[in-house]
Structure 1
Amino acid sequence: MLSNSLYALRKRLAIPQTSIQLSILGLLGGIAAALLIVVFRLAIEFIQETFSAGGPFDSILDYLLPTLPIFAAILIAIFADITGYKHYRLGIPFVLHRIKAHYGNMPFWNTANQFVGGILALASGFSVGREGPSVHIGASGASYFGRWLRLPHNAVRTLTACGIAAGISASFNTPLAAVIFVMEVVLREYKIHIFIPVMLASSAGSIITQAVFGQHIEFAQLSVFTLPGSHYPWLILLGIILGVSAYIFNTNLMRIIRTFRYVNMFPRLLLAGVLTAIVGYFVPEALGDGTSAINQAMISPTNLELLVILLISKLFLTLVAIGLGIPGGIIGPVFGLGVLIGLIVANLVMLIDPSIHFMGTYAVLGMSGLMAASLHAPLAALVAVVELTNNPAAITPAIIVIASAYITSSQGLKNRSIFLQQLDFQGLMYQTPPATTVLEKIGVLAEMDTNLKLINYVTEQDVRFHLNDKHESQWLIVAMKHDLGVDYSLAEFDTSYSRNNDKVKYTPLLTMDTRSTLAHVWELIKDQRDGATLITSTSGEKIVGIVTWEQLRTILMNRNALL
């Protein structure tokens, strides 16, 4: 009974339509992802409290704190060595690749490296964000849930997207921005049957993080006020500056990555730890995910010298940490850099219009503009700043800044998303042909023909007998046993000859299990533009259906618009 129910569930999920089954599974996958993020955040807080004033290392704190990035870098390298350096592909770019090329199936040891390395990096003060680990860990949690149920790959891909949304939402308490980020940056498409489960998973992440960490607004200290129309020309200027800054940031980050590509991981990570420790000793506010820099900047928003020092230090530490391979995200530091740039521009504007209460507004706009231009995620940036500040007054000016920054960066300076640049550098695929994009959303269970007749090959005359005896719409599959196993062929009369000759045509058939999608079938038979593929049970022991080239052609020609 249970196996029949699971089969019915898998068959329903193979269809790319909104369903209560997929919605419930998306919610459960989101809960699994959110719980992992809660454990991740609690582990970071535990380590930070251990090394804080009043902790067990209080007596040697002044000597220990500056060296934490070095010790963390060594531990990250040791763990990566134990698990295998080949599993040290982490973060959002890697998740983008797995979503596009592997239906979101996440390798375990990559996730382990991200989990442990992310905790060490964030707890020790490296200038990285927690959204990178959150995306990776959240994707893995939901992906493992789908694989445990042996769901079709197209459904696992949707569950992985749910895990990403739940991970971001649980990390920042931004459920709407998490949904937009998944659609705009990760999936890079908007499909209604994916929207609902992703929304439910994101809400689960927000509810769980609020239950554990309280109703905390990440950047509530950034006071946003409605700007008068006289400031709008300055907003365009701010956007242009942010677009140029995004280009400088992305270009230099990729330059560092390319420069150190042939350096072994251990010296790279150790160098990142040493440089972070040195700069952090003199400018401790530049350490961390960007929150400390933002807090310090908002305490003294008119101290231009402090803002410039923080900006240079934060930029250097971020480029060093991410460029040399520290496992963390990029969005947190980008927020910090954007706030600093916004405040510097606000100080220049103040020379003309001394309205100090607008400083927080410019800080928020800087944050949104730099994120949009660096990541090529304008809508996610807009929604994120509204949720992170809990203030909708920034929407209209943010649109102006984001549009100016994005156009300046992408069109004026030909700056591409930093994630896509990283993927190109690593040689990881993130684009699929149009036919594959359509077919990968449909599981073979949704389209396979189950009207089969399976026989073992005895003689040619026996095959002809079964061809004459079968129903007109039935497929005859011939199993040919040999020493190495069994080969399957599709048997039919060769229409190029007279029917009276009874000449039999055998088309060899490859097999794949019921978790596969039509894109898998397409890859097998697209070259000959003919034939079919046999579908087996997940164990491979039972033939359950067949998918033909004609079915694929019909979907691509007649139903593409419906998908």
Structure 2
Amino acid sequence: MTHTSLEALRKSLSKPKTSAQLCLLGIVAGLFAAILIIIFRLLIIGVQAFFLPETDNYTQLPDLYRLFIPVLGALLIFIFAILSRYKHYRLGVPFIIHRIKQNYGNIPFNSTLNQFFGGAIALISGFTIGREGPSVHIGAAGASFIGSKMHLPYNSMRTLAGCGVAAGISASFNTPLAAVIFVMEVVLREYKIHIFVPIILAAVTGAVTTQFVFGNTYELSLINVTPLPIWHYPYLIICGLTLGAIAYAFNRNLMFVIKVFRRISMFPRLFLAGAIMGLVSFLVPQAMGSGMSAIHLSVISAENMQLLLTILIAKLVATLFILGLGIPGGIIGSVFGLGVLIGTLMSYFGSYLSPDIYVVGTYAVLGMAGLFAATLHAPLAALVAVMEMTSSSHITVPAMVVITTAYVSALQFFGNRSIFLQQLDFQGLSYQVSPAVEALQKIGVMSEMDENFKLLYSDDKDQINATLNAVTSDPDNQTPLILFDEENGYRLAEYDLSLMSDNAIPINYSQLEAISSQCTLADVFDILKDKRSSSVYIYNQLDNKQIMGLIRWDHIHQVLTIRNSLV
């Protein structure tokens, strides 16, 4: 009964449509991802509690501690990377984008292990990175694990991986809607309702589960957002242009660091990253810690522009080298922190426009939104994120002005590209698929295969002819005949009407290639695209001797020409 139910579930999930089963799996994936991320965060908080008076606050540590803790952390990251035998650059959001686009979201276990412990060590050691990179990787891997254990169709596993990403971001920042938009805008780069709904449920599940442990808090809740008068808007446009230029410079310099040190082996790279972080922390204690620690600093030191500028420079230099040299961590948290510092500095001139209004908090949030949008090419996710994290309607219109100006100026004037895509290009990891393949990836073979076939274990010509005559006797319901013998394997037998004569109709034999029941029509297309004809047979993933159905090239062609817009 259980086996039959699972087969029915797999067949239902192979269809590109919204279903209760897929929605339920989205919730399960979101819950599992959130639990993994909660464990990840508790590990960081628990270890930091042994030597820090407050989580992520390294300012009270002795100078030599701040100098050597990042170096020790880099050495531990190297040791764990060696043990897990995984390339260190292939982690985080860029790698997940590649795996979802090219491998249906199947995440290697070694990379997940490396990201979990490597990311935890980096954050414990005070590197100025974000926790969302490991969270996204861990969330997608958790969802992928569920799909692979249940042997679900690859099209549904791709959706589940997106659910894991949404749960990871939602659990990191407590922003479920921004997480959904980020997945659709940056990771999947498409909006389809049957994908959209389970991702929404996964994001909500991730947020609610995390709130149960850490409370319903936001990093920006400390910042006081006030409405800006209309005469600030020309200055906001200037701020947006400036943020667009900074985003371009940040992306360009990060890729420069990555390319310069690409030929250096892992140990000297990681050791250098630890040494740079240690030196920066020794000179500027406030620069130590995750990118989100800058938000607290901007609140308590908003009037000290010299200190904020020093912290900004220190964090910027450290972030470029740490991420560029391969320390496992997220870029989003770093961009958030840098953007808040830049926005707070910009508020110095904004205060002259309205001396009687405290505008520092508003500009801090706008700086974060503009830098996020231009750096990651995610304007809508940036807008939704600041709306959720501030719970203020006053930020909406000013954020739209800054975000659009920063995004368009970075793209138009500087030719800036998403830092994720630049990293993927550098690593040689493909992320682009043709529209035809993308449409076919959403349809599992189980939903389209022809299950009405005749299987004959014989190579006897007379028996084949008699069977073929029987299955094709009804012109309106002709059943395909599949043959099997030890010498030729599986073949499709058909009458060749083009060579018919008065005496007989020749039989045409077509060799059939096999494809797993987990595959999608894109995999069938990849096999048959050169021939533009023939067929493949579908075998049961759990029993490769059981033939489940047949898919012809004509059927693939029909999906692409007639039903493409529906998927």
Alignment-mate amino acid for residue 389 of structure 2: L
- Structure 1 residue 85 displacement after superposition: 3.3
Residue correspondence of structure 1 range 105-144 to structure 2 within 5 A: 105-144=106-145
- The answer to whether structure 1 residue 52 and structure 2 residue 52 are counterparts is yes
2:130·2:292 contact (CA, 8 Å) conserved in 1? no
Which residue number in structure 1 is paired with residue 471 of structure 2? 470
Looking at structure 2, the residues matched to 27 and 43 of structure 1 have their Cα atoms a distance apart, in angstroms, of 24
Residue correspondence of structure 1 range 110-189 to structure 2 within 5 A: 110-189=111-190
Looking at structure 1, the residues matched to 226 and 61 of structure 2 have their Cα atoms a distance apart, in angstroms, of 44
1:88·1:113 contact (CA, 8 Å) conserved in 2? no
- Structure 2 residue matching 1:204: 3-state secondary structure: helix
TM-score in terms of structure 1 length: 0.97
1:106·1:139 contact (CA, 8 Å) conserved in 2? yes
Q: Deviations over 1:99-143 (max 9, x none)?
A: 000000100000000000010011111111011111100000011
Which residue number in structure 2 is paired with residue 20 of structure 1? 20
- The answer to whether structure 1 residue 495 and structure 2 residue 497 are counterparts is yes
Which residue number in structure 1 is paired with residue 520 of structure 2? 517
Looking at structure 2, the residues matched to 352 and 41 of structure 1 have their Cα atoms a distance apart, in angstroms, of 42
- Structure 1 residue 352 displacement after superposition: 4.6
Q: Deviations over 1:325-372 (max 9, x none)?
A: 000000111111111111222112334543451010000000000000
Give % identity.
Answer: 51
- Structure 2 residue matching 1:545: 3-state secondary structure: strand
- The answer to whether structure 1 residue 479 and structure 2 residue 479 are counterparts is no
Residue correspondence of structure 1 range 249-398 to structure 2 within 5 A: 249-355=250-356, 357-398=358-399
Looking at structure 1, the residues matched to 382 and 89 of structure 2 have their Cα atoms a distance apart, in angstroms, of 28
2:86·2:110 contact (CA, 8 Å) conserved in 1? no
Looking at structure 1, the residues matched to 304 and 319 of structure 2 have their Cα atoms a distance apart, in angstroms, of 22
- Structure 1 residue matching 2:217: 3-state secondary structure: coil
Which residue number in structure 2 is paired with residue 445 of structure 1? 446
Looking at structure 1, the residues matched to 358 and 17 of structure 2 have their Cα atoms a distance apart, in angstroms, of 49
1:217·1:390 contact (CA, 8 Å) conserved in 2? no
- Structure 1 residue 480 displacement after superposition: 2.4
Q: 1:555 aligns with which of 550, 555, 559?
A: 559
- The answer to whether structure 1 residue 546 and structure 2 residue 544 are counterparts is no
Looking at structure 2, the residues matched to 61 and 113 of structure 1 have their Cα atoms a distance apart, in angstroms, of 30
1:129·1:329 contact (CA, 8 Å) conserved in 2? yes
2:15·2:444 contact (CA, 8 Å) conserved in 1? yes
Q: Aligned-residue CA RMSD in angstroms?
A: 1.7
Which residue number in structure 2 is paired with residue 5 of structure 1? 5
Which residue number in structure 2 is paired with residue 527 of structure 1? 530
- Structure 1 residue 62 displacement after superposition: 5.5
- The answer to whether structure 1 residue 198 and structure 2 residue 202 are counterparts is no
- Structure 1 residue matching 2:433: 3-state secondary structure: coil
Looking at structure 1, the residues matched to 23 and 211 of structure 2 have their Cα atoms a distance apart, in angstroms, of 22
Aligned length in residues: 558
Distance 1:328 1:508, change over 3 A: same
Looking at structure 1, the residues matched to 88 and 249 of structure 2 have their Cα atoms a distance apart, in angstroms, of 30
Alignment-mate amino acid for residue 545 of structure 2: E
- Structure 1 residue 88 displacement after superposition: 5.4
Which residue number in structure 2 is paired with residue 99 of structure 1? 100
Looking at structure 2, the residues matched to 416 and 98 of structure 1 have their Cα atoms a distance apart, in angstroms, of 20
- Structure 1 residue 293 displacement after superposition: 2.1
Looking at structure 2, the residues matched to 37 and 547 of structure 1 have their Cα atoms a distance apart, in angstroms, of 41
- Structure 2 residue matching 1:542: 3-state secondary structure: strand
Which residue number in structure 1 is paired with residue 211 of structure 2? 210
| More divergent stretch after superposition (411-420 vs 79-88) | 79-88
2:12·2:447 contact (CA, 8 Å) conserved in 1? yes
Which residue number in structure 2 is paired with residue 75 of structure 1? 76
Looking at structure 2, the residues matched to 87 and 220 of structure 1 have their Cα atoms a distance apart, in angstroms, of 34
- Structure 1 residue 430 displacement after superposition: 0.5
1:40·1:119 contact (CA, 8 Å) conserved in 2? yes
| More divergent stretch after superposition (501-510 vs 318-327) | 501-510
- Structure 1 residue 405 displacement after superposition: 0.1
Looking at structure 1, the residues matched to 64 and 413 of structure 2 have their Cα atoms a distance apart, in angstroms, of 48
Q: Deviations over 1:123-173 (max 9, x none)?
A: 111111011111100000011001111000000011111111111111111
Looking at structure 1, the residues matched to 61 and 232 of structure 2 have their Cα atoms a distance apart, in angstroms, of 50
Looking at structure 2, the residues matched to 193 and 292 of structure 1 have their Cα atoms a distance apart, in angstroms, of 38
1:177·1:380 contact (CA, 8 Å) conserved in 2? yes
1:32·1:142 contact (CA, 8 Å) conserved in 2? yes
Distance 1:345 1:87, change over 3 A: closer
Alignment-mate amino acid for residue 187 of structure 2: V
Alignment-mate amino acid for residue 558 of structure 1: I
Looking at structure 2, the residues matched to 502 and 352 of structure 1 have their Cα atoms a distance apart, in angstroms, of 90
Looking at structure 1, the residues matched to 408 and 262 of structure 2 have their Cα atoms a distance apart, in angstroms, of 31
Which residue number in structure 1 is paired with residue 35 of structure 2? 35
1:456·1:479 contact (CA, 8 Å) conserved in 2? yes
Looking at structure 2, the residues matched to 33 and 291 of structure 1 have their Cα atoms a distance apart, in angstroms, of 22
Looking at structure 2, the residues matched to 102 and 444 of structure 1 have their Cα atoms a distance apart, in angstroms, of 16
TM-score in terms of structure 2 length: 0.96
1:127·1:333 contact (CA, 8 Å) conserved in 2? yes
Distance 1:314 1:356, change over 3 A: farther
2:351·2:360 contact (CA, 8 Å) conserved in 1? no
Looking at structure 1, the residues matched to 497 and 412 of structure 2 have their Cα atoms a distance apart, in angstroms, of 57
- Structure 1 residue 60 displacement after superposition: 9.1
| More divergent stretch after superposition (278-287 vs 452-461) | 452-461
Looking at structure 2, the residues matched to 355 and 278 of structure 1 have their Cα atoms a distance apart, in angstroms, of 41
Alignment-mate amino acid for residue 6 of structure 1: L
- The unaligned stretches of length 5 or more in structure 2 are none
Looking at structure 2, the residues matched to 345 and 12 of structure 1 have their Cα atoms a distance apart, in angstroms, of 54
Distance 1:390 1:309, change over 3 A: same
Looking at structure 2, the residues matched to 343 and 82 of structure 1 have their Cα atoms a distance apart, in angstroms, of 43
Distance 1:329 1:283, change over 3 A: same
1:286·1:313 contact (CA, 8 Å) conserved in 2? yes
Looking at structure 2, the residues matched to 289 and 61 of structure 1 have their Cα atoms a distance apart, in angstroms, of 19
Distance 1:60 1:214, change over 3 A: closer
Looking at structure 2, the residues matched to 63 and 286 of structure 1 have their Cα atoms a distance apart, in angstroms, of 15
- The answer to whether structure 1 residue 506 and structure 2 residue 536 are counterparts is no
- The unaligned stretches of length 5 or more in structure 1 are none
- Structure 1 residue 213 displacement after superposition: 0.7
Q: Deviations over 1:260-297 (max 9, x none)?
A: 01000111001000000010111121122222222222
